[in-house]
Amino acid sequence: MSEPTILVTGGTGKTGSRVAAGLAAAGAEVRIASRNPLGDKQIRFEWHDSETYGPALAGADGIYLVPPIGATDPALIVEPFLTQAVRAGVRRVVLLGSSAITDQTPGLGRLYGLVRDAVPEWAVLRPSWFMQNFVGGHPVAVGIRATGEIVTATGDGRVAFVDAEDIAAVAVRALLDPLPHNTDHVITGPETLSYAQAAAIIAEETGRLVRHESVGVAEFAALVRESGVPADYAAFLAGLDDEIRRGAEDRVTSVVPDVTGREAGSFRAFIARNWTELAADMAAEVVVLPGGSVY
């Protein structure tokens, strides 16, 4: 029996690149979807250009599905793609969602039911907030570098931050396991932390003064808008911070060890492991990428 061919959308992103690497290491045929493909493993794919769907889907058995970032109702874009995928013979889809999004979340939540109904074999990954938000171009990381401050509207709310490596490991198993998972996976790290506690860990591991400043929801939405994010999406992101403040993310699950057979990585270990990158980032000029808070 030949190894499955998996189309990885968002294949150069935080999780997609790791999923692609994990699939390849497991022997699967990997096809990386990209707006600007490079190399023979990548193929041109653009959510807003349906002409790119057919070539990307040809011969694919499964899809790692990262929905279009920044769309408040991505189901409108994804549904025609999934319809074409099923017609092309795709049987399994693993969707990247968010622990902050449920079936009842207007717009974004519709994706979950869409995937469950579209294919016979599926999984919905609902990871908590990424540890990778503290490095690179995410606004949290930019604040650490620029002012030594992490500004949120989360108050003392706690989050079980999760490493994208662990999310990808769960995704690979969901894509390749002989039996389909056919379930939602709420993926978390091994402990919950407030942003103030996360800042303290960063300070301890790096020797740099880092603090958390909690602001009101309206003020935070305004700050997000100033970074270039559309007003409706900025309000959505600010609302997610408010949900954290209310305790929505204060939970730990056993999904990572249950699915992968290894423990989820801790926040402290992540910071220690990425200190070199974080230090280099502090001296670099970066571009803030909107929308990274969710995906």
Q: How far is CA 258 from CA 13, 225, 254, in A?
A: 25, 39, 6
Rounded-to-10 torsion of CA 64, 68, 72, 74:
-60
Nearest to 176 by CA among 295, 33, 3, 42: 3
Measure Cα distances from 174 to 2, 64, 91, 188, 202 in Å: 18, 10, 13, 16, 32
pLDDT over threshold 90, residue 281: no
Dihedral sign (CA 65, 70, 74, 76): negative
Is residue 3 within 8 Å of 28, Cβ to Cβ?
Answer: yes
Has residue 290 got a pLDDT over 50?
no
What's the confidence (pLDDT) of residue 72? 75
Q: What is the DSSP letter of 2?
A: P
Q: Could you tell me if 158 and 150 are in contact, meaning their C-beta atoms sit under 8 angstroms apart? A: no
- 121-135, 231-245, 273-287: lowest mean pLDDT where? 273-287
State the chain's mean pLDDT as an integer: 91
Position 151 pLDDT exceeds 50? yes
Residue range(s) occupied by CATH 3.90.25.10 in the chain: 129-161+189-250+265-283
What CATH fold (topology level) applies to the domain 5-127?
A: Rossmann fold (3.40.50)
Span 157-179, mean pLDDT? Answer: 98
- Helix (H/G/I), strand (E/B), else coil: 229: coil
pTM of the model: 0.90
Band (pLDDT 50/70/90 cuts) for residue 279 is: low
Q: What per-residue confidence (pLDDT) applies to 8?
A: 98
The reported pLDDT for the residue numbered 277 is 62
Positions of CATH 3.40.50.720 in the chain:
5-127
129-161+189-250+265-283: in CATH 3.50.50.60: no
